[in-house]
Every structure is written in structure tokens, then in C-alpha cells.
Structure 1
């Protein structure tokens, strides 16, 4: 089965002689996934030799996976190497060292610990001690003989009950735990923990984001508090599977975007074909070269595309239509379908034919004037005839009067 891919942790480290000692007996390893601190003991130079032998041997035998049994074996080999060093004349009798080693693989952490160098984990802002000190003070605290505060100032506070180089059968305490991205691991010698209380360590680990600056600040604070011992710190940020999660998240975002685009395309395509289907059923009338024409579709364009086609040209002239109808044709008169368009054309033709069959107003006026003239002529003639008749009658009457007069004279 293929190995899982993990993001390499980010880390920082510092070791310092302190303010009292004249040499540094601490040694460390920062070789991901392996991290370790060894605090030497045994007098001038010997403690330094013991811690150096221990870390070199540990680096040789340590596994590259989070395997606690294999890491415990590597610490046991480091113990035997320190003992052989004394037999071989390297260093001197009584030399030894503590050892706290960790392998961090993704979000899996294993520890192997001997002595009083500690491992801490800052999880969601809270500091917890992962290892148990192999020291006289730890035993007395657990027995209820001392409080942690009293142990800090006890004259036997540096006495340890287990170390590398003293017992060929020594076994390390092993720890296995799951950690999370965002957690912070601290491995340190007792030069830090005898100078700073856990609350102060927690504050620095939580406040300073950069692991190298954080490791240096812890040592500087220990020196500021007195620096009675050598101080070594390793700060490791757990990144775990964050890269895998980021890639998965990126893939999910990408897939989501693709799905969204596809949905939008489908919606657009559905709207487009739906609109095109609708456009194929409707029709409109327009003015084209002075003739009324029928188009399938809708007038104009949409998104630069036309959704119409010429169905047929009629023999109706736009000039024969009412002015209002003719103006509307310029923009297109929309109807439900081609049949409705043809029905409207038939109405226009009927109106034009009815208009042609009805006499115009000017013709009607001319005929009316001619009839009036004939009547006047007749009246005039009648009047003349009547006048002539009246004249004749008067003349006759006058003749009768003259005759009567002549008779009377006689």
C-alpha cells in the first residue's frame, strides 16, 4: 500500500549554556520526522560526551515512521552506546544523560523518554505535559510528600532516577498519541522547566507564531529568570494532513465550480432552446420595401442573434393602410402565429376593398351641386310663364273695360 503523503512540520530550536555553567552538556536532533533532546550529566566534559554519543546513536537507529517500539529500541541502543563509551575510555565513569525523543508523522506522534527532559503539547491554546519525569521530585510529588511549588526549590531537585549510561537493561517510557494540525510540540531540557513555570511556557508558545523565534524566546526567558542550567528547546508545529486537506478542498472547490458552470450552461441552454422554440411559433408583420410581410419569430436581435425568418411577402401595400397601422409596422406587429398574421392581412385587405367601393366625399358634393342648378332653372322658367300669363290676362281685362266705356258714351 502506498504511503500517505504528509506535510513536513515547521520547527525551530536553540541550545544555550545559560548564565552559570561554563560549558553546555545538552545535545539535540532536529531531523524530521525525528526530534530529540539529551541532557548530559557526569561532570566536566563527560556529560557533553554522553549526550553527544546518545543523539548520534539515536539518529542511526531511529525509524523514519511513527513506530514507538522501534523508537524505544533506538533509545536502548543509545543507552548501550553510552555504557560502551565508558568501557572504551570515551568520557568517564558515571557519565550519562537524559533522552526525550519524538517522531512526528503527519498527525501521529510517538515518544520515548528517559530522565527529566520533557515533552509538552500545546493543543487549542492549552499546554499539557506528555511525559513523566524520572526524578526524585516527581516520585515525592506523586507520593504526596511535596507540592510542585516546593519541588522547584528542593535541594535534590536535580536528582534523576533513570538515565542513559547507568543500567544496560534500562527501558524508555513509550507514548503514542494522535495530534492535530495546529498543535505545537515542545521538547526541552530541565534548564527551561526549572526556570519557567508551565503557565509562562504556555503563554510564549501560544503568543509567538514563528517556531524558531518561539524556541529562542523560551531560552532567553529562562536565562532572564536566572539561567542556572543549560537550556535546550525544540518547537515543532504540527501541520499533519493540512496539505492533503488543502488539495482536497481545492479539488472540491474546483469540482463545485465546474458543477456550477455546467448547471448554468444547462440553464442557459434550456432557456435558449425554450426561447428559440417559442420564437418559432410566434410571428409578426413588418414593412419591407413598401409591402406588408410576414415573419416567423420575433423582431430585432437578442445577444446579437436573430430569432426570425421571412415567411412570405403579401400584396398589401403599406400606403393603402391607415397611418397608425403603417407606423406600427415599422416596429413589427406581433401576433400569436402565422395563421393569426394571415387573418390580420385579410382584415387589412377587406378594409382596403371597402374603402375602394365607397364614393369619395368630393364626388358626392359635385353631384349635389348639379341637381340644385336644374331646379333653379325650372323655377325661373315657371316664373316667366306665369308672368306672361298674367300679362295676357291683364290685357284682356283692359280691353273689356275700354269696350264698356265706349258703350256708355254712346
Structure 2
């Protein structure tokens, strides 16, 4: 029986403070890829778009079931190697990373690779299940029966991921093969959906939607109604019988950072000339957003007419530009003074006002208060977080994080008093901090552990997913 995939890809910036989409999605007739970039200023959007760009050519290759999984694994390793090379060549990209879920269809088989806390769900014959397992700190605590699934939902470190693609050679994804069945519906999503919408609501959406397009649109709509404060990206694919259903479109769809980087010509290798390249062009044409070809410089409508550049224009344009620059600079400074982060100051944990980057000799932050918590008294994991700075969502969030760190330091001291070495995590689960949307800075981990921090959802009247999310802006 001949089968095919009918698919849809959707994304939204979300309602949080992120100014750009760090998610990337690709949906084609044989390939689905979702990558949730991490690193914020460290170019999470570049990481996710590079991964999609590396995997996209698989959609144009014909392969058997035996070769699909090795091909997918090889492409993911190459994508990870490219991240490492890009960070080595460009220090501004240092610290970037991304989750990845990829599904490659070969006949009626599906090769799947997964690393991070982005999720894949399957609706089959009315049964809804999560078919990926989060690579997260909180999931480890659940697996070790140190906390319950219910406690995991409100754990203050539920966004810490333990495995993502960061360019390290030992960033290993989970690999598996599945069999496709007519009527199956697959959903791939970033934690912008799973962190804010309960799984039973997601199941209801997938069950009731008439088409993958309807399901994807509905997922985005419900996530925004739930005040999702992270980028929200979903891919929905349905297995259809070509003997009884109309053949679906085979035009790939690209959303998020990958589409933006392709349109802008920002090709850290970009999307290669492949189905992905074709998809980006067709997407622009369909939306009416024509883009100049690479290397082409747009021409202003009156640029070639003589006598246009009058004296008034020569005076007014620079003046307006100066006003805009001054206004933008003041706005940027004002915004920076409303930001907070936790970091080290003289060996102690401190709350800083501003942003953790400096511009030349100009410091954009200053310690607002220094605690009595010694950084060396903290568990190893928390030391890494503090040393790499923990971005926050206001002063209330800062006080909550300090409370967690104080408790962790006290537990370490108690362990030391009992003759025990302080572990990398506290013995008991810390008291949850006030809701926060700010991502937690990625630590400097042991070889394959890269904790990163996406946001904690803001209060909402829409139920929140009983899942085990991890830190990921992701």
C-alpha cells in the first residue's frame, strides 16, 4: 500500500522577551526536523538554522529502510561538527547549541533521532503518547525516583537540559526506528508548546483537527492563549493512503530562524541548494515577500533619476538619522537597566542590574547587592550556572534564585559537616522560585552535559502541560 506524509509547519515568537526566533523547523515529504536553538546572545538561532541546513538535503535522497537511520545519524554528526567549527572560527558564536528532533521516512519506516527536551508525540488509533524522552536534569531526578512527576512540573530547575548539540564530539542523540501506519499523526514541538499546554489539551487538538494545518495552527493559538513566553514551533505530519486519498503537496516548508537566515542571505552555510532551498524560494513567493538574489543590491525607486538628491535631503536625512540613533541608544540603555542577572562578585553570589556583556570599556551592568553565599560552597552544577551568569526576569525572580542558591549552599555545608562530599545537585528539591521567563545561562559542563535555561511559564488560565520540560531557549 503506497503511503505519503501530509504535513504542516508553524512557528511564533511567543509572548516573552525574546526579540528573535531561535527555533527552526523543516517539514518535507520525507523529512521532519525541529531544532530549538539555545544561547540567546550566543546565537541560538544560528545553531538551529545550521542544523536544519545540514539535514535538509536528506529530504531529496531516495534510500531504503536499512540506510535511513545511518544516514540520519551521519548528518547529525556532521551538523554537530559544523557547530564546533563555526564556534572555533567565530568567538561570538561560542556557547551556542540546539535541541534536535529529526524524522526521516523510508517507505513505511521512520528513522528518528532526538537530543534535548524538544518533544515528539504520536496519536495512533486514538492513543496519544510521547515518543521521546527529555534529556533534562528534572527527568533524571524523576528516573532516580528522587522526585515525583507532579513535583517535576513545578521544579525550579525544570528547564536545565543535560544533553543537546553543542559541537562536542560526545553529543549523542537517541536513535530509533518506527513503523508508519495509515492514520498516524506525529507532532514535533519545542518547549514553547509543551511547557505551557497540558498534554491532554495537545491530544485533544490532534484528535479533533481536520488536517495537519488545522492542528498546527491550533497548537500555536492555544500556546499563545496560555501566555507562552518562549518561541513556539510545531510540525504536524499525518500518514495517508495514496490509494484512497489525494496526493499531498511535496513542497517543503521552512519556519523560524532557518527561514529568516535563508531569506536574509545569512548562510553560515545556510540552506543548501536542495528541497530546502526550493522551499524557501516558494515560501517567499507564496507570501509575496520577494527577496533579492544573493549578492544583489536593492535599488531605490528614485535612485537613478537626476536631480533627486536636493540640498534639503542631504541635510534632513543625516539629521533624522542622528535623532533615531540617539533615541535608539537611550532606549537600549533604559532597557538594559531593567535587566537583572545573578553572577559572581569577589567570590560571592551577587545580583547584578544590567546585561552581562560589555561594549569596549563601557560596562553595561553593576552589582546591585552582594550576598554572603560563597560560590565555592555551592554544588558544582550551581557554581557553573553562577559563573556563566543566570539571566533573570526582574528583581523578584532574582530574590527567588538567591533563595535557591542559599539553600543549596547550606545543604553542601551540612554534607561536609557529616563527612560527605557535596554532590553536583542538592539532596532535596529546592523551593520553587517565583515564575520566571528568563532563560538560565548554559553552564560549562562535563563532556556531554550542557544545561541551558528556557523560561518558566507566566500564570495563565489555560492549563499547563503535565510534562517534564527542561531549560532550553532553547
Q: What band does the TM-score fall into relative to the shorter chain?
A: 0.5 to 0.7
CA 1:162–1:130: 2 relative to 1, 3 Å = same
Q: Secondary structure at the match of 2:7?
A: strand
The residue aligned with 1:41 is 38
The runs of at least 4 consecutive aligned structure 1 residues that moved more than 6 Å come to none
**Separation (CA, whole Å) in 2 of partners of 1:50 and 1:197:** 28
- Cα distance in 1, alignment partners of residues 77 and 2 from structure 2: 28
Partner of 2:206: 205
* 1:38–1:54 Cα contact (<8 Å) kept: yes
Q: TM-score, normalised by structure 2?
A: 0.48
Match of residue 16 from structure 1 = 12
Instruction: Tell me, in whole angstroms, the C-alpha distance in 1 between the residues paired with 2:131 and 2:4.
Output: 22
How big is each residue's C-alpha offset from its partner over 1:82-122, in whole Å with a ceiling of 9 and x where there is no partner?
11111121752110000000013443211011111111110
Query: CA offsets per residue over residues 223-249 of structure 1, 9 Å max, x none?
Result: 11121211110000012xx225789xx
2:186 equivalent in structure 1: 185
**Structure 2, gaps ≥5 residues long:** 247-474
Once residues 5 and 92 of structure 2 are traced to their aligned partners in structure 1, the CA distance between those partners, rounded to angstroms, is 35
Paired position in structure 2 for 1:53: 50
- Secondary structure at the counterpart of residue 169 of structure 2: coil
Residues 199-218 of structure 1: per-residue CA shift (max 9 Å, x gap)? 11101000012111210111
The residue that corresponds to 1:331 in the other structure is none
Match of 1:277 in 2: none
TM-score (ref. length: structure 1): 0.56
- Name the SS of the counterpart of 1:113 in structure 2: strand
Aligned CA distance change for structure 1 residues 104 and 129 (closer, same or farther; 3 Å): same
RMSD, aligned CA:
2.0
Q: Report which of the two has the higher share of helix.
A: 1
CA distance in 2, matches of 1:90, 1:210: 44
Asked whether the equivalents of residues 25 and 45 of structure 1 are also in contact (C-alpha less than 8 Å), the reply is: no
Partner of 1:110: 111
Cα 1:61–1:105 change in 2 (3 A) is: closer
Paired residues of 2:7 and 2:28 also in contact (CA < 8 A)? no
Q: CA deviation at 1:9?
A: 1.2
2:172 is matched with 171
Q: Give SS of 2:40's match.
A: coil
Matched, 1:73 2:68: no
Q: Distance in 2 between the 1:121 and 1:144 partners? A: 26
Q: How does 1:359-370 map to 2 (within 5 A)?
A: none
Query: CA distance change for structure 1 residues 101 and 93 in 2, over 3 Å: closer, same or farther?
Result: same
Structure 2 CA distance for aligned equivalents of residues 213 and 123 of structure 1: 18
Shift of the 158–166 alpha-carbon distance from structure 1 to 2, 3 Å rule, reads farther
8 A contact 1:26–1:40 mirrored in 2:
yes
Secondary structure at the counterpart of residue 9 of structure 1: strand
